[in-house]
Amino acid sequence: MSSLQDQLQKTGLVDGKKAKQVSKEKRKQQKVAKKSAQPVVDETKAAAEKAREEKVARDRALNAEREAAAQEKAIAAQIRQMVESNKQPKGNGDIAYNFTFDKKIKTIHVTEKIREHLANGRLVIVAQDELFELVPRVIADKIAERNADIVVQPPAQSGEPDEDDPYAEFQIPDDLMW
């Protein structure tokens, strides 16, 4: 296929000099237009780049979520292992030991010796899969570092009663079991 310019030359409507001059002018105009033109922002490229950045952000968030879930599983496995390897026998006692867990009063039956250890803070109760196990204080502290919600904190035994406690003047006997 020949250009319109070639066809016009063959028919004799335009001579060769005039055709060269027109093409020369056309090239000059194109050069000037290229230099003065602002860089053209391709909208499709911008949209593709934006979509890619959004996908990268979503992928990062999803990976962070997966890592957090994996971390929680690892912590739960560590806690389960610590409890299983360090749990103390409750004994087949007939003494009911009451404690609060999740704003509810729970009871386990222990021997007198175990109750004394619990009262003195040498043993601590840990919730493990809907069951309550006894572990030494050192292990309970390590578990509390990982998940403090499953460790049953013994009642605070401070020597000083609260200022506005109406029963502050009454001493609680050591052998009181509730």
Instruction: Classify strands 95-101 and 131-136 as parallel, antiparallel or unpaired.
Output: unpaired
Say if CB 14 and CB 3 are below 8 A apart.
no
- Residue 90: name the closest of 132, 45, 56, 139 by CA: 132
Identify the top-confidence range among 48-57, 101-110, 118-127. Answer: 48-57
The model carries a pTM of 0.55
Q: Which two tokens stand for residue 4?
A: 């319109």
For 106, the enclosing helix (H) or strand (E) is strand 104-110
Between CA 74 and CA 78 the distance in angstroms is: 6
Instruction: Calculate what percentage of the chain has a pLDDT beyond 70.
Output: 87
Instruction: Answer yes or no: is pLDDT of 115 > 70.
Output: yes
